[in-house]
Amino acid sequence: MASHRKSRPTGTRVAGIRTPALATAALTSVALLSQSANAAPAADDKPSLEEVEKKVDDLYRQAESATDKYNAAKEKTAKQRKRVDTLLDDVAERTQKLNEAREELGSFASAQYRTGAAAPDTATFLLADTPQDYFDQTQLMDRMTGRQKVAVDDYVTQQSETMKKRQEATESLETLSDSQDGLKTAKATVQRKLADARELISKLTAEEKARLAAIEKEKRAEAARKADELARQQAAQQKAQEEAAQQQDSGSSSSGSGSSTSTAPADSSYATKADKALAFARAQIGKPYVWGAVGPGSYDCSGLTQAAWKAAGVTLPRTTYDQVNAGTTVPLSQARPGDLVFFYDDVTHVGIYIGNGMMIHAPKPGTYVREESIYYDGESAIHSVVRPA
């Protein structure tokens, strides 16, 4: 007899209660979502906006450091190429003289051949690899006439000098090759760092870019505040110096010496040069930063300071880590317009001080030459201040 019992709905029991299939599916979904939620933090390793900003800044700094190495390698390569060209010209000139000396000796050999005279074997001498050895072995010089001796002396001298210069040229060519390799390596490093920075920025959303801009605005405001504070300190210091000078003048006058001390700065010539350097730098504002550039259409940081002071008649080295040693280091509180302000422990950035805590500099790729607070990257970023003339 067939059973008339209704089939039980499929499902499972939870805590002794029978659950329908729909409830089971729901519980399964909740469990899966719970697992996903728990796993999400581990899977989502996207860096924070602050971390991205720091990474981008670090990459730009590394690119600037590599740019200085590129600039140094470029300068070294140019000098080495000039030396190689000079040596090759010298070798060509000496080779010509050697050929002339060889022709002179050849004329003696021809004369010997025509006359059949048992004269010194000049022809064999000319074919010798090392003429001096040939002299030692045959005592050729003892058997030569006066004109022959003069010709041979000239030939030996020219051959020795030519060989020496050829060796120098060979060594210089090898050094030039090494310099060119270093130049290529530095260039590749700069390009890689900049590409990495651009890639990080490209991954930011519009909202994240807006937040980064807001952070940058806050940093600029803080930098401006610090610049104002430095300007007040420098103004107070200047006032104190002027008052001290006035008191000294008053003391000199009251003593009946009949002379007065000038309050004009002893290094007024520096101020004149600095004015020229600053006038040049201001004229470059708005031109793009391009790594390795020295103007006139674009600059990197040290290219700008070098060009500015060149306009004032002062020659500075090409790189920041050479420029930092090209003058007198002064305290930040005593910085004057025209001084060079260097940044970071590895001295990879430089700007030219214009007073009141401000400078003109070429900041980084993607920016333009501009006026900015010397505290643009925080007080701790400032390395030193150097007076270049």
pLDDT in tens, 86-120: 888 888 887 887 777 777 666 665 655 555 554 44
Q: How far apart are CA 185 and CA 70, in angstroms?
A: 8
Q: What percent of the chain has pLDDT over 70?
A: 71
| Cα dihedral 89/93/96/97 (nearest 10) | -160
Amino acid 150 reads V
- The answer on pLDDT for 383 being more than 90 is yes
**Contact (Cβ atoms closer than 8 angstroms) between residue 52 and residue 204:** yes
Least confident range of 57-71, 101-115, 154-168, 332-346 = 101-115
What's the pLDDT score for residue 14?
38
In DSSP notation, 367-389 reads: -B-EEEETTTT-GGGEEEEEE--
Instruction: Indicate the DSSP class of residue 343.
Output: E
Closest CA to 234 of 343, 378, 371, 335: 335
**CB proximity list for 374: less than 8 A, separation 6 or greater:** 223, 227, 230, 341, 351, 353, 357, 358, 359, 382
pLDDT in tens, 185-215: 989 999 999 999 989 888 888 898 898 888 8
pLDDT band with cut points at 50, 70 and 90 for residue 238: confident
Residues with catalytic roles: 301, 349, 361
Residue with tokens 């051959």: 159
- How high is the mean pLDDT of the chain? 79
